[in-house]
Structure 1
Amino acid sequence: MGRNATFETFGGAGTLIADYTYWSVQARPKQATIGALVILSHSQSTAFSDLPPNAFAELSEVVEDVETTTQKIFGYSKINYLMLMMVDPHVHFHVLPRYSAPVLFEGATFTDPGWPGQPDLGASDGLADARLVAAALRRAWPRPVT
């Protein structure tokens, strides 16, 4: 599986949930909201338009798996996709489940400090451990993890 430096920036194998042909899904190390993820292209591309057509086709499967599994585990109210490639240049999306009410995970309660407005990416109090989030999602993932 091809990888780029951005994969390691977001925790590498420790936060990996699923690998596809063109994409990886990782738990976001800074859980701005519980269940926050990164969908990362395997390519070295730094422009979304440079990805091959098959990557765009596969992205629909990735998004379906992300939404289905994240809803099952965390019960989000809405979900936001942000493509912010300012510091980490390779094509990737930040996926932020949004919550209108607190969520219980691993015995702790997590809130969405930006709800109902924009997500607060700088929120840092009481963050969930991304490795625990990754493990919970991996166990429930609808496709085999490669």
Structure 2
Amino acid sequence: MQLDPVCVSCTSPEDDPLTFAVSQFWKVVLHPDQSVPGALLLVSLRHVAKVGELDEREALEFFALYRLIEAALENELGASMVNVSCLRNWAYREDNADPPWLDGRPNPHVHWHVAPRYARPVAIAGDRFVDGQFGEELIWRGERVGRDVQREIIDRLSVHLGLQ
């Protein structure tokens, strides 16, 4: 595994063990922070800085893929609703930018944080998860889960998505 040293979002899918589905223009990555189980990143395969710079095919495929992801999270994990956000804030920090600045300028890479929200507890791989912030804006807490939980989430969502 070799994460891209300049932009982790540019890491090729085969080099990222948390990438579990790839379409023509996007990859689906299990978010390392599982503050809510099934949190994902939907990352453009092309390094593009702004949502407005996506071409029409990328934008259309984003919405088609998002619909599949939303349905998978609801049907496979029991999400009550799904939050989605494109932030890019870290790329603009003067100190410790992520990804690092390039040629003295911010170097953002369009990606979406997809966060399923749960009105009721959810069980995954024998563990019970409670969304204690349901009905409020999600505060990411840096929650890590074991490989068995990661694997079950990936397996359940992969079946529904039908991508490789």
The verdict on how the C-alpha distance between 1:7 and 1:70 changes in structure 2, with shifts beyond 3 A counting, is farther
Cα distance 1:128–1:32, how it changes in 2: closer, same or farther (>3 A)? Answer: farther
- With a CA cutoff of 8 Å and minimum separation of 6, indicate the structure with the bigger relative contact order: 1
Structure 1: where are the runs of 5+ without partners?
none
Gaps of 5+ in 2: 91-97, 99-107
**1:55 lines up with 2:75 in the alignment:** no
CA distance in structure 1 between the partners assigned to 2:56 and 2:112 by the alignment: 17
Q: Identity over aligned residues, as a percent?
A: 23
Aligned to 1:144: 163
Contact 1:14 / 1:131 at 8 angstroms: preserved in 2? no
1:33-52 matches, cutoff 5 A:
33-52=36-55
TM-score by length of 2: 0.75
Q: Which residue of 2 aligns with 1:102?
A: 121
TM-score (norm 1): 0.84
Are the counterparts in 1 of residues 10 and 47 from structure 2 also a CA contact under 8 Å?
no
**What CA distance in whole angstroms lies between the structure 2 residues aligned with 1:51 and 1:28?**
22
CA RMSD for the aligned pairs? 2.5
* Distance change >3 Å, CA 119–CA 92, structure 1 → 2: same
| Segments ≥4 residues shifted beyond 6 Å | none
Change (3 A) 1:17 1:110: same
Question: Higher Cα Rg: structure 1 or 2?
Answer: 2
